[in-house]
Amino acid sequence: MLRDITIGQYYPAKSCIHRLDPRTKIVGTTLYIVSLFLFKSFPGFLVVGTAFAGVLILSRVPLRYMLRGLRPILMILLFTVLCNFFLSGGEVVWQWKFLKITKEGLLRGTFMGVRLILLIFGTSLMTYTTTPNQLTDGLERLFSPLKVIRFPAHEIAMMMSIALRFIPILAEEADRIRKAQMARGADMDSGGPIKRAKAMLPVFIPLLVSAFRRAFDLAMAMEARCYHGGKGRTKMKPLRYRTADLFGYLYMVCYMATIILLRIWQKI
């Protein structure tokens, strides 16, 4: 399951989405996330899902990679859905002793589950089609207007990029430590949730030590290369908008216009 974490991973492919400027993809992902919270009914998600499906096809990222990213959050997803099923008031459709499921709870739980799935899909697709270096450059350029108020745009972008890059690295390290502990006789797959959580302690402690060691090594490497922030730094490959980015922004405008019109006219 640890190897199924998709946030921070890059899938190399030759597609028009991969060739887009990272600023275009960051803005598009932000608008996509905002649009997910503008709807209160399923027809709205149909619009979002259709727009996302079009981008996914253009990106040439296999659907199985997107579905694989749901495995690490499966327990959170089930917990969210079940909480809405059993804790929402309304018309009762099933009851056993103190447990009851309402019609409103079924709708709300399904609604929240679909929203969470689409949210994971959207963020995963951005990292699948954008390298960490491109993300850093794109975030820095987007935050650059805030430098007039002394906002550390370069440093914030660098920290976010390093955090995204460390997610798959630490997940792989945790999987390696887990296999090493199981080879020494540790039982991590049997028992209840509490027992299995306690069995993961021999994994988390070495993982924490490894994370601090990697952070220290990275800091030493950056210092050895005379890194002192973004002041005076130049880019070997400066970002430039192309014709494809213009079509990307036009797609975003049409997408948001459709969402706003549907929300006003049909109140979805």
What is the pTM for the complete model shown? 0.78
User: Do 19 and 64 fall within a single domain?
Assistant: yes
Q: Look at residues 136, 155, 135, 137 and name the one whose alpha carbon lies nearest to residue 147.
A: 155
Domain count, the chain: 2
**Do 1 and 123 fall into the same domain?**
yes
Rounded distance, CA 128 to CA 8, Å? 7
Domain for residue 140, yes or no?
no
Indicate if 68 and 125 belong to the same structural domain.
Answer: yes
Are both 54 and 68 inside the same structural domain?
yes
Same domain, 178 and 67: no
- Which residues are 94's β-sheet partners? 101
Q: Which residues of the chain have pLDDT under 50?
A: none
Dig out the tokens for 125 from the structure.
């697709």
Residues 111 and 183 in one domain: no
In a domain, 146, yes or no: no
- 186 domain-assigned: yes
- Say what the pLDDT of residue 8 is: 63
Q: CA nearest 215: which of 155, 148, 170?
A: 170
- Looking at the fold, whether 248 and 125 belong to one and the same domain comes out as yes
Q: What is the pLDDT of residues 167-226, one digit of tens each?
A: 778 888 888 888 888 888 777 777 766 777 777 788 888 888 988 999 899 889 988 888
Give me the DSSP letters along 49-99.
HHHHHHHHHHHT--HHHHHHTTGGGHHHHHHHHHHHHHH--S-EEEEETTE
Q: Which domain holds residue 164?
A: 153-233
Residue 139 lies in a domain: no
Please answer whether residues 182 and 161 qualify as being in contact, where contact means their C-beta atoms are separated by less than 8 angstroms.
Answer: no
Shared domain check, 240 and 181:
no
